[in-house]
Amino acid sequence: MNRHLTPGCKTVILINGIPASGKSTVTRQLSAAFNLPHLTIDGIKEPFMACFTGIDRTFNRQLGCAAYEVIWSIVGQSPAGCIWLIDAWFGFQPRDTLQQLLQRAGVEKVLEVWNHISPELAVSRYASRLQDRKPGHPGEEYLPELAQLAQQAEPMRLGPVFTVDQHKPLDMASATRWIEAQIA
pLDDT tens digits for range 109-134: 999 999 999 999 999 999 999 988 88
Q: Any residues with CB less than 8 A from the CB of 136 and at least 6 apart, and which?
A: 46, 49, 52, 55, 59, 60, 63
Q: Cα separation of 102 and 72, whole Å?
A: 7
pTM over 0.85, yes/no: yes
Q: How many Å is the Cα radius of gyration of the chain?
A: 16
Neighbours of 104 (CB within 10 A): 12
For residue 41, what pLDDT is reported? 94
Pick the CATH number of 11-183 from 3.40.50.720, 3.50.50.60, 3.40.50.300, 3.40.250.10: 3.40.50.300
Domain boundaries in the chain? Answer: 11-183
Q: Cα separation of 128 and 5, whole Å?
A: 36
Contact at 8 Å (CB) between 12 and 84?
Answer: yes
Residues of the chain falling short of pLDDT 70: 1-4, 6-7
